[in-house]
Structure 1
Amino acid sequence: MKILKSYTRVYVHHLNATLNRYQQLLSTTVESRFKYPQKGLELASIGNLLLISGNEDSLRPFRTTQITFLVDDLDEFVVFFKQHHFQIIHPYQHVPTGKNITVKDPEGFIAEYVQHV
């Protein structure tokens, strides 16, 4: 059970313009970019940022999630969450990059955990 990377979420309406700015600010290039048509979103990762783009209606359900953790074995994390009284906000599901779950820890912090497949 290991967190491989953490991404600060940045919610945007204009992905291309935002990516251009952050590529210059971070002096790096986009690591991944994909569409999530079922949710009306497009996402891109650059450095430790996860840019999530869509209109206000499509972004609204995701805005309370504060961070995304890329993990090695999501099933092990789910066991940990149950043992430590995390509240499951969005149950285990398949997403374009693999599988994820969104949870709230006992202090109220909401995070998405993703395992790429």
Structure 2
Amino acid sequence: MSAAPRTTVLPDRWFRANPDSAALSRPRLLARSLIHLAELDERIGFYEELTGTAADLRMPIPDFGGLELAAVGNMLLIASVRPFTDIQRRTAHSVIVPALTAQLKRLRAAGATVLEPPETILPGSRARVRYTDGTVAELVEHRPQPGELPRPSPRPAVRGAEPVLLVRRAVSASAFPAAVALYETALGTRCDTRLRLDGAFPVELATVGSLLIVGTDGPEFTRSADVGLALVTTVPLERAYGLPVPLDGIAPAGRHLVVLREGTLAEVWDGSVGLRPATTPGP
């Protein structure tokens, strides 16, 4: 008689709608927000309201620095009661990958440097890399714990999705073509949208999965290069969620900066300019 499969006792509040990332059709890119653990529930609620998307994972990881993570759409909330390390703060984004070994092989071939080799963690395994453009990213492979089944968020359903939240990467105009090629390789998908907006400072835009690449020598790069979050919407977002931040009135039409209600600085693009970001990757 065969023994019953072992079941892992997971921490309280743990759920994953998709505990095995092997089912992903391509890597899932996530913006990162580092917060105190006491803020986590409020931030989850804010991003669910903002994007109209329910959280699809929440993972307390007590043996890994006391972290607790939650993902809402393309946003990863990383909460801790301890101060974050320098490398955690310098990490630009997180990527949930179908297979960590295969992803590292692909990135090494593209010139990436492995800063932290693979290690086993409760969700599966992880590594940290630096791309050829200097961007630091954390890669995570999700695998189910013994007996773990897909489990949706226990929170109530939210309204329909609007706006779309994207990871933002700003580069100079000359670096734009190389950046598009780099992230097509890193994210395993082709560019979804490519636009050029003319003006005092021409701006080139590309979406690669859930990444928005902004290429320009104007204020979208020189004065806001460190803004890591973008929103594509057809509604006046700042009226409901934040306050506009002026850029001397020379930003291209359809674009402005907003301080969101929870304090994050985000770039907002009017969806009418033609951006068509891809949806979250699935099986």
| CA distance, structure 1, for counterparts of residue 40 and residue 125 of structure 2 | 23
Count of residue correspondences: 115
RMSD over equivalenced CA pairs, Å: 1.6
Which shows bigger deviation, 45-54 or 67-76? 67-76
Q: Which of 5, 12, 32 in structure 1 is aligned with 2:57?
A: 32
**Partner residue in 2 for 1:15:** 40
| CA distance, structure 1, for counterparts of residue 42 and residue 119 of structure 2 | 30
| CA distance, structure 2, for counterparts of residue 80 and residue 28 of structure 1 | 31
Q: Which of 74, 90, 93 in structure 2 is aligned with 1:67?
A: 93
| CA distance, structure 1, for counterparts of residue 82 and residue 123 of structure 2 | 23
Identity of aligned residues (%): 26
2:112 matches 1:86: yes
Shift of 1:90: 1.4
Structure 1 residues not aligned, in runs of 5+: none
Shift of 1:70: 1.5
Shift of 1:56: 4.9
Larger radius of gyration between Structure 1 and Structure 2: 2
Over 2 Å off, 4+ runs? 80-85
Q: Within 5 A, what are the aligned runs for 1:43-62? A: 43-57=69-83, 59-60=84-85, 61-62=87-88
Q: Secondary structure at the match of 1:28?
A: coil
Q: Secondary structure at the match of 1:66?
A: strand
Q: Secondary structure at the match of 1:3?
A: coil
Taking CA–CA contacts closer than 8 Å with sequence separation of 6 or more, which of the two structures ends up with the larger relative contact order?
Answer: 1
The one-letter code matched in structure 1 to 2:111 is H
**Partner residue in 2 for 1:114:** 140
Report if the CA contact (8 A) 1:3-1:69 is conserved: no
**Partner residue in 2 for 1:4:** 27
Q: TM-score, normalised by structure 2?
A: 0.38
Structure 2 residues not aligned, in runs of 5+: 1-24, 144-283
The one-letter code matched in structure 1 to 2:57 is S
| CA distance, structure 2, for counterparts of residue 83 and residue 67 of structure 1 | 20
* Structure whose residues are more often strand by fraction: 1
Q: Which of 122, 139, 149 in structure 2 is aligned with 1:96?
A: 122
Q: Which of 131, 152, 169 in structure 2 is aligned with 1:105?
A: 131
